[in-house]
């Protein structure tokens, strides 16, 4: 515990919350009576801000390269702060208390700390500064006049219309996707104003959100959505069981195609703003160390659950643990293998620099641009030697750090490794090929020294599972709604625990960025 110290200048508190616009019995009780008298001068709020800042700096001291000064504590204080989580403890209540003013200060300090870490870790990355918006008197009047407070909504079951569980789980993940929810609930695509006459998937999404936020609790049958998908994608038409991932990709493509802002390149439709990332592929010639880079846009990442023959042979060269390679058991294992260098065959690469044909080379993937929402498919269904399903349980985290898989982090690690080699007097081989430290055996063998960058940290919000055999199984989902996990099994919606979610045999995973970046081009243009 750290006691609230001295008296710096007061700071402004959070303004114009929901309670300010719509006063009444729904106003959340917060804080405790012992804090209210000492909050009025504002000193305790600013002191809490200082302690929260010290706490966050200490937690991320390795990423920031600093160590904050220690503060001496005083005894007998009424309010204390738990240093690891910045929780507020009232000495008279003998319990932790919630106070929205302190919570607002903590959130702003977390954001400030994240921006500092991002600038320190990626000094060349352009990111506009976050500026908090407060409603003025004019905006507040407009909000009061044109808005009404709705009850908590967004949870609703979906009817199974005959082997349509594959569609239901994808629709539930769309509904609980924070970016899609914000887009369609803010009326940015209205089915009433849409100029597309028929088969518009954007209009179907708009109607889907309307149904889920109508206040009706009975299960909904998305017949119109299914019919539009049948008309748009003939491969999905019919009453047979379909693959949820194929439906997901097809739905994204159809929503994109009918969007008024749809483009072949640099598309600004809601699908690309939400799911689109950029994958970088680097091919390195093992004779002259020439690197050729290519870039591929992606909407999701499909991960193998079993190593390929090529990756197995490369693993033996690297001397990695056989148990790790033969049976990966976590999402991190799958991502490690996905971004590890693989050795190309002698007939797969011709070097443009040294002019040799059939030259040995390595290929490595990394994330050049990470999307706001990351979707993973764990490739459980195999078709190589007959249809089969991989039942291996893959562990996955509630919070995922993607820093180590980014192109910038890999370059940073290589530069640090190169500097370390120079200090130790190491160098590359005489024939100009990369030294052992930069070959596939060690380029990405360890990520231990990489500090998480806040803009590359993701939180899990939806999981899709498949039970049963490949052709006759059943899809279910978990989704996070207002901080709680729910099990979604067609028309049945039940409360779930995070442990149940993380213990499930996932087929698809959906993560959203913990801190969303501004669109730099639009931010600078505005």
- Catalytically active residues, by annotation: 165, 474
The sign of the torsion formed by the CA atoms of 503, 504, 509, 511 equals negative
Rg of the chain on CA atoms, in Å? 26
Distance CA 238, CA 241 (A): 9
What 8-state DSSP symbol labels residue 70?
Answer: P
Say if CB 374 and CB 409 are below 8 A apart.
no
Dig out the tokens for 484 from the structure.
């709680």
Q: What residues contact 454, with CB distance under 8 A and at least 6 apart? A: 113, 114, 117, 118, 514, 515
Q: What residues contact 180, with CB distance under 8 A and at least 6 apart? A: 174, 205, 270, 274
3-state secondary structure of 152: coil
Side-chain-side CA neighbours of 69 within 13 Å: the count stands at 4
Distance CA 329, CA 318 (A): 20
CA angle 380, 228, 275 (to 5 degrees): 50
b/e 173-204 (16+ beta carbons within 10 angstroms → b): bbbbbbbbbebbeeeebeeeeeeeeebbbbbb
Q: What residues contact 342, with CB distance under 8 A and at least 6 apart? A: 310, 311, 314, 362, 363, 364, 440
Say if CB 341 and CB 314 are below 8 A apart.
yes
Distance CA 261, CA 451 (A): 37
CB atoms within 10 A of CB 354: 13
Short-list 488, 468, 490, CA closest to 480: 488
Side-chain-side CA neighbours of 131 within 13 Å: the count stands at 6
Say if CB 371 and CB 301 are below 8 A apart.
no
Distances 523 to 126, 135, 194, 456 between C-alpha atoms, Å: 11, 19, 27, 20
């Amino acid at each position: 515990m750290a006691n609230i110290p001295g008296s710096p200048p007061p700071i402004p508190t959070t303004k114009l919350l929901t309670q300010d616009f719509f006063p009444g019995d729904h106003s959340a009780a917060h804080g405790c009576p012992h804090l209210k008298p000492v909050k009025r001068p504002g000193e305790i709020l600013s002191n809490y801000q200082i302690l929260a800042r010290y706490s966050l700096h200490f937690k991320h001291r390795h990423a920031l390269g600093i160590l904050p000064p220690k503060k001496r504590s005083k005894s007998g204080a009424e309010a204390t702060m738990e240093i690891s989580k910045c929780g507020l403890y009232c000495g008279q209540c003998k319990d932790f208390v919630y106070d929205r003013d302190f919570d607002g200060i903590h959130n702003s300090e977390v954001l400030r700390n994240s921006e500092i870490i991002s600038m320190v870790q990626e000094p060349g990355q352009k990111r506009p500064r976050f500026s908090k918006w407060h409603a003025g008197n004019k905006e507040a009047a407009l909000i009061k006049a044109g808005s009404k407070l709705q009850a908590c909504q967004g949870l609703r079951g979906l009817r199974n219309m005959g082997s349509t569980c594959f569609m239901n789980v994808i629709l539930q993940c769309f509904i609980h996707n924070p970016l899609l929810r914000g887009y369609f609930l803010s009326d940015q695509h209205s089915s009433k104003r849409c100029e597309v006459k028929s088969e518009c998937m954007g209009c179907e999404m708009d109607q889907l959100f309307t149904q889920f936020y109508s206040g009706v609790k009975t299960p909904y049958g998305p017949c119109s959505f299914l019919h539009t998908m049948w008309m748009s994608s003939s491969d999905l038409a019919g009453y047979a069981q379909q693959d949820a991932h194929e439906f997901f990709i097809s739905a994204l493509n159809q929503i994109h195609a009918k969007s008024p802002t749809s483009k072949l390149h640099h598309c600004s439709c809601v699908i690309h703003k939400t799911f689109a990332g950029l994958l970088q592929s680097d091919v390195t010639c093992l004779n002259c160390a020439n690197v050729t880079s290519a870039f591929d846009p992606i909407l999701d990442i499909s991960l193998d659950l079993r190593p390929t023959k090529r990756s197995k042979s490369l693993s033996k060269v690297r001397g990695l643990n056989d148990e790790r390679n033969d049976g990966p058991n976590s999402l991190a294992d799958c991502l490690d293998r996905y971004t590890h260098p693989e050795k190309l065959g002698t007939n797969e690469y011709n070097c443009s620099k040294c002019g040799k044909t059939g030259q040995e080379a390595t290929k490595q993937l990394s994330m050049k641009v990470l999307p706001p929402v990351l979707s993973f498919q764990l490739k459980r269904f195999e078709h190589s030697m007959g249809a089969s399903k991989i039942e291996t349980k893959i562990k996955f985290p509630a919070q995922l750090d993607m820093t180590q898989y980014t192109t910038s982090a890999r370059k940073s690690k290589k530069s640090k490794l190169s500097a370390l080699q120079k200090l130790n007097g190491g160098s590359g081989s005489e024939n100009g090929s990369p030294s052992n430290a930069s070959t596939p055996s060690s380029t990405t063998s360890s990520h231990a020294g990489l500090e998480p960058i806040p803009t590359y940290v993701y939180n899990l919000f939806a999981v899709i599972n498949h039970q049963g055999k490949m052709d006759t199984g059943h899809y279910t989902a978990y989704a996070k709604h207002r901080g709680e996990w729910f099990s979604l099994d067609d028309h049945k919606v039940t409360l779930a625990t995070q442990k149940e979610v993380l213990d499930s045999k996932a087929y698809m995973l959906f993560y959203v960025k913990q801190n969303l970046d501004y669109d730099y081009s639009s931010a600078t243009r505005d």
